[in-house]
Amino acid sequence: MSPQPTLSSTDIPQLSANADVNAWVVRTAELTKPDRVVWCDGSQEEFDRLTDEMVESGTLIRLNEEKRPGSFLGRSDAGDVARVESRTFICSEREEDAGPTNNWRAPAEMRAELERLFDGSMRGRTMYVVPFAMGPLGGAITQYGIEITDSPYVVASMALMTRSGQAALDHITPGSEWVPALHSVGYPLVDADGTSRPDVAWPHNEEKYITHFPETREIISFGSGYGGNALLGKKCFALRIASVMARDEGWMAEHMLLIQVTNPEGRTFTITGAFPSATGKTNLAMLQPRLPGWKVETLGDDIVWLRKGADGRLNAINPEFGFFGVAPGTGYDTNPVAMTTIERNTIFTNVALTDDGDVWWEGMTDEAPAHLIDWQGEDWTPDSGRPAAHPNARFTVRAEQCPTLSPDWNAPDGVPVDAILFGGRRATNVPLVFQSKNWEHGCFLGATLASEQTAAAEGPVGKLRRDPFAMQPFAGYHMADYWGHWLDIGADLGDAAPAIFQVNWFRKDADGKFLWPGFGENVRAVKWVTDRLAGKVPAVETPIGNLPRLGDIDLEGLDGFTADDLVPLFEVSDLSWLAELDVTREYFEEIGPKVPDALVAQLDEVGTSLKENLKENAEV
């Protein structure tokens, strides 16, 4: 067969006012050798055209227009269903800057390997150029990027997740800063000689690379079509690269939700929360409070950028434009706001297909349908003995469809933050809610945050894993330096710093039953947080932090739950906590000598207080 034609530089559209952008597009096309190059304008017409093409090719399934209008189902390769942390690299110039929690490769070595893989990788495909903004266009905290990809699924998803297209490109003016993000799903569909390769197998894990170059603010991803590995504006830009930018420029990029809580008196509080993936973050972001007169409004469910405002307070934005939520476990009983949000115009990935053209996943309804097509395209019944949807199945939808969306969600300069929550999935030790003693102690709580392993990342589900600030998989530099950056931010903010709290909805009794009903009842813990912010209630000082008086947790209307049931939720065992501190000290030693002295001092202070408690109780 005749050789595959190669685009010349004159055939490649150059549509940016920024010459550096145009040059990068040309270089990438010459390397990857696509059939054509398309600059994406972000229009609805473009989205409709792409989804029509993907339906025709079998990449997407159009769902029942009556039951799920404007929505689609996609299925990824069975080996490409989650973040691949083992193949995610921070390619800083110095290995020590990546730190012990990141995989590191020398930049020159990684670039050579990637250039080999990307050479001709887009043959037989279209190369899409996707300009995008992270944050409101023109906002004080907003950053811009351009993703090049050969995946129309990525283009459509980026249209839902970011402010993509011409409007973003207009802000990437000559001389302005922008983040280049290059992605390819893998091997070409056509060989150099023009031979079709329709049966090319998906790359194995060792052939996947999700790489970040902090000094040059670049992202390069090869061999994965999964959301966090392919939608490069998300974790790759908004956390790993942005965290480095934030360190250098004096702001913060965090794995957080963002909500506004209004009490019956009409006072509104803005609260962020750092929670590891799949531990109730989206549920809290879309909370429907089960206390009369309380309102919770959503600004974001996953990523927050924070910068000191003119008034000296910490302002926050959600840099994303949509939600990329975990479907399993989401239902009208657990998260009715999310279910309403995804009633239309949603891309679902790796969920099950019903016989009438709708979607289903575990936790969506109490009973499963009698028959489904599972996430791998196979027939499924309740007796199949396997999940119908992948545990990390997702929905992608624009935030504007959320019925609880705050009017401030698109505020160009963000909203001032009153409180920061840290939360994980802990069966023991950690109380339902408590407040840090001060900013430094709050940083200690963040640095020692741990949660049970979930399906959102590789590894055995259920194993306790350290996830400081819910950022261990996402910090783009040394974790100890990241902790130090938090301490520096607090010192700069002074008395204007937000208050810090820790919450835990997942404490269990000796029989393994959850002690707290959770979901909409979590507003009762949030109410105590706001009462503390308003100066309405005192706190009980303990070695681990300031706990509520049990009578200050509002149990009105919580049937079958009494003040006695609160006791085990707030039990602080000195011996158990001392044992945990021993493990924490070992963890600090693993992080290394760069752990800030202030956090080691907090560890010592908490341990000393616990030992004094034990001594006093023994004497009594």
Q: Is 255 annotated as a binding residue?
A: yes
Q: What angle do CA 32, 188, 44 make, to 5 degrees?
A: 75
Phi, psi (rounded to 5 degrees) for 579: -65, -40
Q: Are strands 72-74 and 60-62 parallel, antiparallel or unpaired?
A: antiparallel
Q: Which tokens go with 168?
A: 């973003």
Q: Which tokens go with 121?
A: 């990788």
Q: Is 425 annotated as a binding residue?
A: yes
**CB-based contacts of 499: which residues, under 8 Å, 6+ apart?**
418, 419, 420, 435, 436, 442, 529, 532, 533
Q: Is 36 annotated as a binding residue?
A: no
Q: Is 372 helix (H, G, I), strand (E, B) or coil?
A: strand
- Rounded CA separation 489/464 (Å): 29
Instruction: Identify the residue whose tokens are 């207009």.
Output: 170
Q: Is 184 annotated as a binding residue?
A: no
Q: Is 520 annotated as a binding residue?
A: yes
Number of helical H runs and strand E runs in the chain? 16, 32
Q: Is 524 annotated as a binding residue?
A: no
Q: Which tokens go with 347?
A: 């891309």
Task: Answer yes or no: are the C-beta atoms of 198 and 460 closer than 8 Å.
Answer: no
Instruction: Identify the residue whose tokens are 């000393």.
Output: 608
Q: Angle, nearest 10°, between helix axes 479-493 and 597-619?
A: 80
The separation between CA 60 and the C-alpha centre of its own chain, rounded to angstroms, equals 24
CA distances from 438 to 243, 487, 495, 501, 595 (A): 23, 11, 10, 10, 19
Q: Is 350 annotated as a binding residue?
A: no
> How many Å is the Cα radius of gyration of the chain?
25
Q: Which stretch of DSSP H or E encloses residue 132? A: strand 126-134
Task: Answer yes or no: are the C-beta atoms of 419 and 529 closer than 8 Å.
Answer: yes
Q: Is 103 annotated as a binding residue?
A: no
CA distances from 470 to 119, 271, 447, 464, 539 (A): 36, 16, 9, 13, 26
Would you mind telling me the total number of residues written for the chain in this entry?
620
Q: Is 227 annotated as a binding residue?
A: yes
Q: Is 441 helix (H, G, I), strand (E, B) or coil?
A: helix
**CB-based contacts of 154: which residues, under 8 Å, 6+ apart?**
128, 130, 147, 183, 225, 230, 231
Q: Which tokens go with 313?
A: 């307070």
Tell me how crowded residue 286 is: count the other CB atoms within 10 A of its CB. 27
Q: Is 587 annotated as a binding residue?
A: no
Q: Which of 323, 392, 401, 393 is nearest to 353 (CA)?
A: 393
Q: Angle, nearest 10°, between helix axes 242-249 and 479-493?
A: 40
**CB-based contacts of 180: which residues, under 8 Å, 6+ apart?**
24, 145, 146, 148, 217, 218, 219
Task: Answer yes or no: are the C-beta atoms of 574 and 617 closer than 8 Å.
Answer: yes
What's the number of CA atoms in the CB half-sphere (13 Å) around residue 470? 29
- DSSP code per residue over 374-433: -TTS-EE-TTSSS-SS-TT-EEEEEGGG-TTB-TTTT-TT-EE--EEEEE---SSS--SE
Q: Is 383 annotated as a binding residue?
A: no
Q: Is 542 helix (H, G, I), strand (E, B) or coil?
A: strand
Q: Is 237 annotated as a binding residue?
A: no
Q: Is 601 annotated as a binding residue?
A: no
Residues in a beta bridge with 163? 133
Q: Is 594 annotated as a binding residue?
A: no
Q: Is 22 annotated as a binding residue?
A: no
CA dihedral 367, 370, 374, 380 (to 10 degrees): 120
Q: Which tokens go with 562?
A: 């009494």
Q: Is 277 annotated as a binding residue?
A: yes
Annotated binding site for GTP: 394, 425, 519-522
Annotated binding site for substrate: 83, 226-228, 277, 392-394
Annotated binding site: 83, 226-228, 235, 255, 277, 302, 392-394, 425, 519-522
Annotated binding site for Mn(2+): 235, 255, 302
